[in-house]
Structures are given as C-alpha cells and as structure tokens.
Amino acid sequence: MLLQQMDDQIAAWEHTGDRRRVFLRCYRVMTGNMLDAIEEGYFRDSKWINTLLHRFADYYFRALHCYDCGDPVTRVWKDAHQRTQGEDLHNLQRLLLGINAHINYDLVLTLRDMLHTEWDSLSTEQREARYLDHCLVNQVIGASIDQVQDEILEPGDPVLAIMDRLLGRVDEYLVSRLIRKWRQEVWEQAEHFLTCSGRADQERLRANLEKSVLDRGERIVRVW
C-alpha cells in the first residue's frame, strides 16, 4: 500500500517533470529495503519498526497534501518544496533537502509520538532495544546508497558521475555517515521531547527544531 502510494506519486511527477521526484524516488528505494528487512526479521521488534515506518511516511504525505492543496504546512516542508521546485540545484541537493526535512524534523516527531505512551513503562534494557533498532535502520540506509546514486542521482547529474569515478565509494560513505550523524541527533532530540513537560516546553523544543532544520536547508542550498 505504502509503496504503491509512492509509485503513483512518482509517476505523476515524472509526467509533469516535478523535481520533487528525486527525493521520493530515493525514499521509495529505502522504504522498499526497510520493508524487506522487516520481513526478514532484521530488527529486534519488527512490529514496532513497521508501525514507525508507516507513521513516518504519514508525516511526509500529510505535509505534501497540505502543500499541494494550499493548506497550512510546516515551514520546514514549505521551504523544502519551494526550493526543490524553484531553484537550480544539483540532484544531491534536492535529495538532501528532502532528507533534512523528513529525518531531522518528521522523524523526531514520529519517535516522540511512538515513544511517549510507553517510555515511562520501559525498562533500561527495553529503551536500549528501541535505540538499537533505530540504529539498525542506518545499516539499511547505508546499503541503499549505491543503488540510489547509480539509479537516481547520477543519470540526472553528470557531476556526480564524475565524482563517483574519481572518489569510488568515498562519496557514498560520506552521505551515509552524514545520515547516520543526523539520525543520532534525531534520537537525542526525541529524548528531549520525552523528558520535557507541558505544552509550552514542547512548543519551544519544536520551534528550536524547526529553526535548526531550516538553517540546515539553507546550508544545503548554499554549499555549491
């Protein structure tokens, strides 16, 4: 169901030439590999990871629907959509804009949603198991980078093809390491949400998170 939803949106964007397809095509590859890993029993708690995967995707598609329909949308996704559609960027920048919004913002909130009802009742060992499953996702993402670069990024960006020939696997390693670093920060941010009390504190954390993601988006665009 989720993969079909992604495929349908990609096909629509391919037809119209919408540049947002770059991120979604990559997201689709990684989601497919995640579902395969879940099916193979790769995680300690496959049911929990599967629920997390789908709630995470819901954040993306809700924001997309709101943006395309002209409804209010988070500043993070408004910025990512507008830059991807309107600015002359490399495909790697388009990918990183989407990853920045979805991982550094959406994933924090998804983890908060998933963990807040159970966190106080989890033992230290159970909390560690949740974190270790979160870290195992990095392995699936890392194993997907080559496929993403070969099938999606390089065909539309000859600069990346040249980099790949010159650097070998170094460029893939750097992207994988960047995502791993971001995901570690995401877990730490989610823990901050879990330990703060009251709506005012929650909103303060969310606003600070939003600002940091917007600042990262600006750096992604200006790096070239």
Q: What is the pLDDT of residues 13-23, one digit of tens each?
A: 999 999 999 99
Confidence category of residue 156, pLDDT binned at 50, 70, 90: low
Return the pLDDT at 17. 95
Return the pLDDT at 221. 93
Q: What is the DSSP string of 43-55?
A: SS-HHHHHHHHHH
Q: Is the pLDDT of residue 71 over 60?
A: yes
Give the orientation angle of helix 108-115 with respect to helix 46-69, to 10 degrees.
Answer: 130
Q: Is the pLDDT of residue 32 over 80?
A: yes
Mean pLDDT of the chain: 90
Return the pLDDT at 153. 63
Return the pLDDT at 175. 75
First to last CA, the chain: 37
Q: What is the pLDDT of residues 33-44, one digit of tens each?
A: 999 999 999 999
- How confident is the model over 56-70, as a mean pLDDT? 98
Number of folded domains that form the chain: 1
Confidence category of residue 166, pLDDT binned at 50, 70, 90: very low
Return the pLDDT at 176. 79
What tokens appear for 221 in the block? 């665009």
Q: Is the pLDDT of residue 167 over 50?
A: no
Q: Is the pLDDT of residue 50 over 60?
A: yes
Return the pLDDT at 157. 57
The answer for residues whose C-beta is within 8 angstroms of residue 205's C-beta and 6 or more apart is 189, 192, 193, 196
Give 36: exposed, middle or buried? Use CB within 10 Å, 0-12, 13-18, 19+.
exposed
Give 197: exposed, middle or buried? Use CB within 10 Å, 0-12, 13-18, 19+.
exposed
- How confident is the model over 182-193, as a mean pLDDT? 97
Return the pLDDT at 224. 60
Q: Is the pLDDT of residue 59 over 60?
A: yes
Q: Is the pLDDT of residue 83 over 80?
A: yes
Q: Which of 86, 85, 62 is nearest to 74 (CA)?
A: 62
Return the pLDDT at 163. 47
Q: What is the pLDDT of residues 95-117, one digit of tens each?
A: 999 999 999 999 999 999 999 99
Q: Is the pLDDT of residue 8 over 50?
A: yes
Q: For residue 14, what are the domain limits?
A: 2-222
Please indicate whether residue 134 or residue 152 has the higher confidence score (pLDDT): 134
